[in-house]
Structure 1
Amino acid sequence: MRCDKCTEKPCREGNACTSCDAAALYADETDRRMMRAASEVEAEYYGEANRIQEIIIFSQKMGYKKLGLAFCSAFSEEAAKLSAILEKYFEIATVNCKVCGVPKAEMGAMQSERVGKVSCNPIEQAAVLAEAKTDLNLLLGLCVGHDALFIKYSKAPVVPVAAKDRVLAHNPMGALYCSAIYKRMTREASKYAEEHESEA
């Protein structure tokens, strides 16, 4: 499917362009509760609550008692601010990306003078929060790839709070909204496609 190329969007009105038994996908009661809670947050607070507020409201609707926060060490100040708010509502467990202080050499990870010698450890972050028995885990600024590993190994559902983007003030969508950046990326993508056309 290439839904990004669809201009009519009939599915938004319930007129599907392909058939499926969507309801069967949500046979699990917890999944159905999450869908209902998410829909309620959207319906009740659309355009009024920011993402952090939505996380709080969603978690309350789900009856969550303990939230986990996996954060990048570069986001320590933001993690402290976020935790100070969340701990008014929930029990909190937090773990930063450098947990266990594993040298990059031991992980077989590339080293550079631009970054430190200690490796990020997203699988251990997931393990720490699993041991804490969190109901929901929040992601704050993990690197691309590290976030994928954390999500893969997290025992609890995961909600991103913010995605890391060192160039665009942690606003990845800025690359699509800023015409100059978008045009440059489009040119680079076209050049790449031309250079690798023979490999297809």
Structure 2
Amino acid sequence: MKCGKCGVFACYTGDINKAPDFCPMKTKGDVIDKALKKYDEFYEIASNSASVEADGYLKWSRVEETVEFAKRCGFKRIGIAFCIGLRKEVRTLIDVFERNGVEVFSVVCKTGSISKDDIGFKKINPNRFEVMCNPIAQAMLLNEANTDLNIIFGLCVGHDSLFIMHSKAPVTCLIAKDRVLAHNPIGAIYCSHHYFRRIFGNK
């Protein structure tokens, strides 16, 4: 599967006959058929996602889309797994949801206050006390709260993966952490001519 290198994107135009030989619509049609049947099970989420895309296209911010998606799905209990570095920003997000009639449960990444020394994790500064990020506990605590939807709010690379793996509720990402680019990771792609040596491994 090499969709990222396709120059045709027949899937987008609907002209399937023009799809290249490596297209999964040609090589893995059985998988696509199985996937289509799964939408019966997840119809509400898929349908509401499509309606938010259609109604808010080029009009709503990601925050507005997330609020509207939650409302259309009837989600009343929202979980937020946030980075301590965004503790000020998360208060604004909580206020937004609460003003829209949603109950919010938020868990900071440092919950548990477990030292990196106790678990053998590398520290940013070896000469000071550092608490590990605890995405598994964040997920488990939100599971205990029976949240309907969980939001990732600036978790580290890998920590977001662990959170998703352990969350019982559906997960959406509102902020992808990037400390260098103001949490706008695609900036490195847009400016690849500048970051070329770094992002392509030539340091």
Q: How does 1:33-112 map to 2 (within 5 A)?
A: 33-89=44-100, 90-112=102-124
Identical amino acids, percent of aligned pairs: 42
- 1:178, CA displacement in angstroms? 1.2
- Alpha carbon RMSD of aligned pairs, Å? 1.8
Distance 2:95 2:72 in 1: 20
Structure 2 residue matching 1:68: 3-state secondary structure: strand
Deviation per CA, 1:102-134: give whole Å up to 9, x if none. 111122211231885111110000011111111
Structure 1 residue matching 2:180: 3-state secondary structure: coil
| Unmatched tracts of structure 2, length 5 or more | none
Task: Give 1:152's match in structure 2, choosing from 152, 165, 178.
Answer: 165
Task: Look up the match of 1:137.
Answer: 150
More displaced, 82-91 or 15-24? Answer: 15-24
Task: Look up the match of 2:125.
Answer: 113
The alignment of Structure 1 onto Structure 2 pairs a total of residues equal to: 188
Task: Look up the match of 1:197.
Answer: none
Distance 1:27 1:176, change over 3 A: same
Distance 1:139 1:27 in 2: 26
Task: Look up the match of 2:6.
Answer: 6
Distance 1:116 1:87, change over 3 A: farther
Distance 1:116 1:71, change over 3 A: farther
2:146 aligned with 1:123, yes or no? no
Query: TM-score if structure 1 supplies the norm length?
Result: 0.88
Task: Look up the match of 2:38.
Answer: 25
